[in-house]
Amino acid sequence: MSSLPSAITLRPGVVKDAIVDRLERALGKSTAGASRRDFYDALAIAVREELAERWIATRTRVTQAHVKRVCYLSMEFLLGRSLINALSSFDDRLIDEVREALLGFGHSLEEIAAEEEDPGLGNGGLGRLAACFLDSLATLGYAATGYGIRYDYGIFTQVIGADGAQREVASSWLGMHNFWESGRGGIRYRVRFGGHCRAMRDDKGRVQSEWMDTHDVWAVAYDLLIPGNRSPAVNHLRLWSGRAVEPFKIEDFNHGNYAAAVAEQIDAKNLSRVLYPDDSTPQGKELRFRQQYFCVSASLQDMLAQHLADGRGIDELERAFAIQLNDTHPALAIVELMRLLVDEYHIGWSGAWQMTRRICGYTNHTLLPEALETWPVEMFERLLPRHLQIVYQINRDFLEAVSAKYPNDMDRRRRMSLIAEDGDRRVRMAYLSVVGSHRVNGVAKLHSRLMRETIFSDFAQLWPDRFINVTNGIAVRRWLKQANLGFAALITEKLGSAWENDLEDLERLKWAVDDADFRQRFRAIKRDNKLRLAKTIELLLSQQVNVDALFDVQVKRIHEYKRQLLNVVYVVVRYLRIINNEAPDIVPRVVIIAGKAAPGYLMAKAVIKLINNIAHVINNDPRVGDKLKLCFLPDYDVSLAQEIMPAADLSEQISTAGMEASGTGNMKLSLNGALTIGTLDGANIEIGDAVGAENIFIFGMTAEEVVARRAQGYSPSSIVNSNPELKRAIDTLESGLFTPNNIADSTTVVDRIMSDGEHFLVLADFETYAAAQDRVDALFRDTDEWTRKALINALSMGPFSSDRSIREYADKIWGIKPVI
Q: Which residues are known to be catalytic?
A: 365, 556-557, 562, 664, 668
CA angle 320, 321, 324 (to 5 degrees): 165
CA–CA dist 657, 670 (Å, integer): 19
Task: Please provide the DSSP assignment of 705-767 as one string.
Answer: HHHHHHHH---HHHHHHT-HHHHHHHHHHHHTSS-TT-THHHHHHHHHHTSTT-TT-TTTTHH
DSSP state of 323: E
CB 153, CB 123: distance < 8 Å: no
CB 230, CB 476: distance < 8 Å: no
CA–CA dist 675, 664 (Å, integer): 14
CA–CA dist 253, 269 (Å, integer): 19
- Nearest one of 190, 161, 424, 394 to 293, comparing CA atoms: 190
In three-state secondary structure terms, 552 is strand
* Residues whose CB falls within 8 Å of the CB of residue 621, separated by 6 or more in sequence, listed in order: 575, 579
Strand pairing partners for 71? Answer: 145, 323
CB 134, CB 226: distance < 8 Å: yes
CB 66, CB 320: distance < 8 Å: yes
What crossing angle do the helices spanning 349-359 and 332-339 adopt, rounded to 10°? 140
| Dihedral sign of CA atoms 43, 48, 51, 56 in order | negative
Type of residue numbered 715: S
Go through 138-168 and write b for each residue having 16 or more CB atoms within 10 A of its CB, e for each that does not.
bbbbbbbbbbbbbbbbbbbbbebeeebbbeb
Type of residue numbered 108: S
Residue 479: Cβ within 10 Å count: 28
In three-state secondary structure terms, 569 is helix
**Strands 360-363 and 144-149, bridge-based pairing:** unpaired
Strand pairing partners for 182? Answer: 223
Cα within 13 Å of Cα(460), Cβ side: 16
Residue 334: Cβ within 10 Å count: 29
Cα-based distances in Å from 781 to 524, 592, 734: 17, 20, 33
Q: Return the H-helix or E-strand segment holding 632.
A: strand 628-633
